[in-house]
Amino acid sequence: MAAPYRLAVAAAMLLSLPLAASAAESLPTPAHQARLEGGLQTALALNRLLNPYKIEVRVEGKTAYLQGEVENQVERHLAEQVALATRGIDSVENQLRVNAELVEQPLERRAYAQRLEDATLASVIQARLLWSTHTQAVPIEVESRDGVVTLRGQVNSAEAKELAGVLAGSTEGVFLVNNLISLSAADMAKLREEQQQVRIDPQLSDAWINDKIQTSFMYSRNLDGPNIKVATQDGVVRLSGEVVSSEQKTIAVEVARQIRGVRGVDADMLKIASKVSG
């Protein structure tokens, strides 16, 4: 259950960032409370464990009231944690009821939620392919179904095909990749020429590069993105922070290196955590 909890809390915090009232405000306005309710309702709807259930949200002051039914105590507690993670909410009146008979009822809603999750996952992979130097110019079709991703299209090198599979397979939420991308010998020379022209990007800003590297870290299941700091100057990326193994360090360097506009990666300040003997 650790991963859904982290995702739920992260979603609630991100969604609530614009909702923070200034310190000078002693009493939240009705408009502010409505924004809090909307942000919390969206966070609950985005959570894969909670979106099948109809959870009513009301905010009074800094207290959130949750009403409705969920299937078990785990989901009841998770809803409360999502609410507490929402900025502007200090306490929760958890009035959710546990109804074990709901096990059969949310199937249709779960199917709808799964379709939304599959569409989101496919879009995330498409974005990562567009950010990559090797795959940004290639039309690759991405299909996701229950965490199984299928890639189709045509590329001009085995490296591009392999990289597309690696990017898809390392994305959070992907369980299996069917890499059906094909290589066309007839078009290889033409595609190579076109790729060389596309690679001559207008100078991508350091901020753009920073953002895409950090987002790629976040979407990679093999990396602890928040513990890796990224700084880019004139296309040269410097990584710092801490990872748990040399394998993670290698992955971080490779993920950063394949982002468009990157001229080099310096990972000297990215340290490997030392093991503490118990």
Q: What is the pLDDT of residues 48-84, one digit of tens each?
A: 778 778 889 998 888 999 999 888 898 899 999 988 9
Q: How far apart are CA 148 and CA 166, in angstroms?
A: 14
Q: How far apart are CA 150 and CA 97, in angstroms?
A: 40
Look at residue 102 and give its three-state secondary structure.
Answer: helix
**What pLDDT is attached to residue 23?**
43
Report which secondary-structure segment, H or E, holds 230.
strand 228-233
Q: How far apart are CA 259 and CA 128, in angstroms?
A: 9
Of the two residues 242 and 201, the one the predictor is more confident about is 242
Q: How far apart are CA 155 and CA 191, in angstroms?
A: 8
Instruction: Identify which of 60, 58, 59 has the alpha carbon closest to the alpha carbon of residue 68.
Output: 58
Q: Beta strand 91-98 with 63-70: parallel, antiparallel or unpaired?
A: parallel
Q: What is the pLDDT of residues 210-266, one digit of tens each?
A: 888 888 888 877 777 678 889 988 888 898 888 888 888 888 888 888 888 888 888
Q: Which two tokens stand for residue 215?
A: 């987002």
Question: What residue has token string 């502007």?
Answer: 88
